[in-house]
Structure 1
Amino acid sequence: MKKILLVTASMIALSATAASAADLAARPYTKAPPPMVAAVYDWTGFYIGINGGWGQSHDNRTVDGIGQAGSYDANGGTVGGQVGYRWQTGGWVWGLEAQGNWADFSGSTGNVLVPGGTVRSKTDAFGLFTGQIGYAWNNVLLYAKGGAAVTDRNYQFLAPGGALASSTGFDTRWSPTVGVGLEFAFSQGWSLGVEYNHIFEDTHGATFVTPAGVAVAGFHTGGDTDMVLGRLNYKFGGPIIAKY
């Protein structure tokens, strides 16, 4: 009788163990969640874009041995484009850029030396060739730039009544330039920015020519230029990097 009870108890224990094992095998497997991924924007690559904004050029017109003929600011709008390349190492970003713009920075004032006369000028184009250094916080880039600028300005004297008395024609001049900008990448390749530029043109000697072709020397004219530009760029290559 005892043997029968022992066998029965053993069979019950084995059945319970098998049932427990079956229950364990039936439990579903839960996969661990993937690690968090942070997207990091890479500023490396060629880019091309457009820009537009406002600028102001100063003109301080003087005549040697006589004095000032007029001083004023010529201002207006500008639109153009840029192309460049940037390299990013860690948070630091370096770049090279060429920019060309049409402009309409124009202004005038009365001629102090000729009552009723006018001193007038206009900047109709400029180019910037600069290097950049900046620091990026992911998709936000703050940078400084510097290099050379070329400007195309026309200086004039108008006689009383408005007739052209003399002009420098197209006065193309190279000058140093510096600037600073802030750029925000809002999608793959596309970025928006705002930029300030200063051109150190300063005053310089100039020869004016009358409509009859007579050259008149002894003048100094010109001055620095300031600009505020909005920019839209598209960058080729250098995709967003997944950082774990």
Structure 2
Amino acid sequence: MKRFLLGAAALLAMAAPAAAADMQPRPYTKAPAYTPPQVIYNWTGFYIGGHVGGAFAGDTTFQSSDARFLGGVQGGFDYQFAPNWVVGVEAQYSWLPTNNKGVTFPLGTQVTSNTDQIGSVTGRLGYTWGPALLYAKGGYAWRNGGLGVNVAGVPQPFTASGNSKDGYTVGTGLEYMFAPNWSAKAEYQYYNFGSTTITSGPADVVGVRGRDDEHTVKVGVNYRFGWGGPASRY
């Protein structure tokens, strides 16, 4: 038995190299190239944010042409469809200081604009490519304030027609999604509240008519909830 086992082991030892020589080498397979995940930007969802900028009188009849600082907040909802279009609604509120410089008329009467708040509720339509969104907006506008009349710093009684607190607004802007759930925007917005005519008061301002409007430029940041923000697709 011992001699039999030794003989079998010797035969296996001689057969192993021959069997190994008959085996075909494993074929080389190249590793697949790395494909980075595709980033899909989704604008659908609610958002809130803040903005700063400047306001400029469109008609300088009752306002000086100096720029005024403004700052405020905004919030809204966007829906992306078809697949690069975005439609939404936005509410916006801005605070700005009273225009104390006003305009001085020939007999020394000064008229000042004391509008210190403006707001809007607008529809918004935009086109998106990747993280960028170009949009136009328009809708209802509101303001708080009106006119003041004084002579040598002393307030004067007056009456006026128009001087509406309600109006309309239109604008356009560019928004960019720079991080998950975060976007930054630059925007121009025009506000129109009709016109005002002073019907009684100091002689040099009676009958003077001016347009009540504001041009604004703003930059801001939005935080987007839920569906908004970039998502990876593999």
User: Given residue 227 of structure 1, which amino acid in structure 2 is its aligned partner?
Assistant: T
Aligned residues of 1:184 and 1:193 also touching (Cα < 8 A)? yes
Measure how far apart 1:206 and its partner are: 5.8
The answer on 1:126 being equivalent to 2:118 is yes
Structure 2 equivalent of residue 164 of structure 1 = 155
Q: Is there any run of 5+ residues in structure 1 with no aligned partner, and where?
A: 1-11, 62-69, 211-216
Structure 1: distance between partners of 2:165 and 2:31: 69
Using a 3 Å threshold, how does the CA distance of structure 1 residues 206 and 46 change in structure 2: closer, same or farther? farther
Match in the other structure for 2:3: none
Equivalent-residue separation in structure 1 for 2:68 and 2:196 (angstroms): 22
Counterparts of 1:232 and 1:148, CA distance in 2: 22
Deviation at 1:218, TM superposition (A): 6.3
In 2, Cα distance between equivalents of 1:105 and 1:54: 13
Task: Calculate percent identity across the aligned residue pairs.
Answer: 31
Q: Using the alignment, how far apart are the partners of 1:36 and 1:20 within structure 2?
A: 42
Where 1:147 maps in the other structure, the secondary structure is strand
CA distance in 2, matches of 1:98, 1:208: 37
RMSD: 3.2
Residue 101 of structure 1, CA deviation? 1.3
Q: TM-score, normalised by structure 1?
A: 0.75
Structure 2 residues not aligned, in runs of 5+: 1-13
Displacement of 1:44 in angstroms is: 0.9
Partner residue in 2 for 1:197: 189
Tell me the distance in 1 between the aligned counterparts of 2:165 and 2:199. Answer: 14
Residues in 1 aligned to 2:63 and 2:91: alpha-carbon distance in whole angstroms = 31
Q: 1:124 to 1:40 in 2, by over 3 A?
A: same
* Inter-partner Cα distance in structure 2 for 1:118 and 1:96: 40
The answer on whether the counterparts of 2:169 and 2:189 sit within 8 Å (CA) in structure 1 is: yes
Q: Does 1:82 align with 2:71?
A: no
- The one-letter code of the counterpart of 1:108 is G
Paired residues of 2:158 and 2:198 also in contact (CA < 8 A): no
| Total equivalences in the alignment | 215
- Given that 1:60 and 1:223 are in contact with CA atoms closer than 8 Å, whether structure 2 keeps it comes out as no
CA contact (8 A) 1:202 1:224 kept: yes
- Hey, what's the Cα distance between the residues in 2 that align with 1:30 and 1:168? 86
The CA distance in 2 between the partners of 1:142 and 1:105, in whole Å, is 32
- Tell me the residue number matched to 1:43: 43
